[in-house]
Structure 1
């Protein structure tokens, strides 16, 4: 029997599920060791899951890290713009070819901030070019690691997936996970260190997790919000992971179904994709625990006013 830990939930009720759903990177036997994905293409999804509209192109063009993209280009509420070529977000980098590694060098990236757990890193170490320094900033709960949970569910087969994720349990688990991303002190320390690295950086910085959608998605939402980007645009960037991961997800999910490890893909979609309710859960927790986003930056991430100013200057045009 597989048991799912749902993380402590501070809110009295979970938000309803939004329409946008999708799949993340799968692996045969475990999440996080992705096979070589298909080309990133904006075609329609073959499954019944709804998909976020294709975003403005920001892809780094890495076939083996399809969710790697430039965070820049968005407009802020006061009319400025998030700089391109300064901050990049990505999924796992373990399958990068030598040519793809050189793409990181060409973009001037010198810092790789890795949010993955030690177990994820051991299974799929980053393939980086010379001159790119990896910094480990693990964001995970040793008692209820999401990557371990999904690996167990894939190994447990269709019956375990139905028991653990059916009846809306997958959505509730992910809502609670995003609450934990905000409330957990160790997670706050890691995200705070990442934000300071961006603020202090003199060359482009890349940060990533395994699928580039949850931990990386929240980090991106934090940076864009701190830069003054409107919430609707922050949501758009977050939901775009469903688009960038679609082709590789469909390909690998088909392999799992053929192997008999997955029977009902709909059970996995809430866990392997992103939904509006997940990001809403994180922002709700920001308000519940810290009173405001500024409160979260100061108390949750440990940033002082000088660092916040430096971050905004680093991220936005004058």
Structure 2
């Protein structure tokens, strides 16, 4: 396996689907995200990037310590953002890392406009996680076209954070989303070669899947948060360029309105875990009832993830 390096460049345009997730209407939720924002800024992610300039959030999930002293295996599971811009050299990186399975959480519309650029030997499986009635990418494109006043009405006064909190709860409660995440977990448990899963930015659907895997492996919540919040680091440079382009084009006046959507916050992951407890009683209940994993598959998954 190659030595991993840090990289943080390259991302698509928000108006064409860079957000890459969907959301239900937000409930009346609290949460300014100030604690999460401060923690994200202080978090120094472990260098485990795959070094893909055109997929800066692509990284190895391995290397984290479990509560009982074991370690998540390197080179078994990779998480990523969109792979549609991979160069031939970057495609060779997937080959060199032994990746043979690409699990794609994006919606059909996202895939249609940005198909994965994969090397020969990597099989893509569509496991779409999206709400056809409320796609966030389309919502944001409409708001950008509507101008600063429309953006302020929809996203100001904490509404963007509330929308994202609601989306993460939906990731847990929606049966179709659970079916897709369960299929991904089974593919990883049954895999004999490295598996990569991704969405568009690699932070929301991919972020929750990563949290599920690390929690199932016995990694403490503080470490799960560290991996989750690292997306802010890996995507920062590209997000800054994207915001600057939108401002230059006259489509955005207040960049702070987009920050909750372009980044991740601890409150989002809290919303997902809170929904796990509310709907399923426990994380084990979520694995069994929400993802449809039987005990044998759960054991295989842990064995696949954890180094002996």
The question of whether the paired residues in 2 share the 8 Å contact of 1:82 and 1:227 is answered with yes
Indicate which of 167, 185, 191 corresponds to 2:181: 191
Change (3 A) 1:165 1:239: same
> What is the match of residue 153 of structure 1?
143
Provide the C-alpha distance between the structure 1 equivalents of 2:227 and 2:50, rounded to a whole number of angstroms: 15
Normalised by the length of structure 2, the TM-score is: 0.90
Deviations 1:6-54 (A, max 9, x none): 62678x85455243449xxxxxxxxxxxxxxxxxxxxxxxxxx973522
1:109 aligns to 2:99 (yes or no): yes
> What is the match of residue 7 of structure 1?
24
The question of whether the paired residues in 2 share the 8 Å contact of 1:212 and 1:241 is answered with yes
Provide the C-alpha distance between the structure 2 equivalents of 1:210 and 1:6, rounded to a whole number of angstroms: 15
The question of whether the paired residues in 1 share the 8 Å contact of 2:36 and 2:267 is answered with no
Indicate which of 123, 142, 149 corresponds to 2:132: 142
Task: Describe the SS at the equivalent of 2:158.
Answer: helix
Which aligned pairs between 1:160-199 and structure 2 lie closer than 5 A? 160-199=150-189
> What is the match of residue 35 of structure 2?
19
Indicate which of 132, 145, 153 corresponds to 2:122: 132
Uncovered stretches (5+) of structure 1, i.e. residues with no partner: 23-48
The question of whether the paired residues in 2 share the 8 Å contact of 1:286 and 1:292 is answered with yes
Which structure is higher in helix share? 2
More displaced stretch, 281-290 vs 150-159: 150-159
> What is the match of residue 203 of structure 2?
213
Provide the C-alpha distance between the structure 2 equivalents of 1:138 and 1:262, rounded to a whole number of angstroms: 30
> What is the match of residue 226 of structure 1?
216
Cα distance, 1:253 vs structure 2: 1.1
> What is the match of residue 16 of structure 2?
none
The question of whether the paired residues in 2 share the 8 Å contact of 1:21 and 1:269 is answered with no
Count of equivalent residues: 287
Q: Where do 4+ consecutive residues of structure 1 move more than 3 Å?
A: 12-16, 18-22
CA RMSD of aligned residues (A): 1.8
Cα distance, 1:194 vs structure 2: 0.4
Uncovered stretches (5+) of structure 2, i.e. residues with no partner: 1-21
Which aligned pairs between 1:1-318 and structure 2 lie closer than 5 A? 7=24, 13-15=29-31, 17-21=33-37, 51-318=41-308
Deviations 1:189-214 (A, max 9, x none): 00000000010000000000000000
Provide the C-alpha distance between the structure 1 equivalents of 2:25 and 2:286, rounded to a whole number of angstroms: 18
Normalised by the length of structure 1, the TM-score is: 0.87
Bigger RCO (CA 8 Å, 6+ sep): 1
> What is the match of residue 40 of structure 1?
none
More displaced stretch, 232-241 vs 140-149: 140-149
Change (3 A) 1:6 1:119: closer
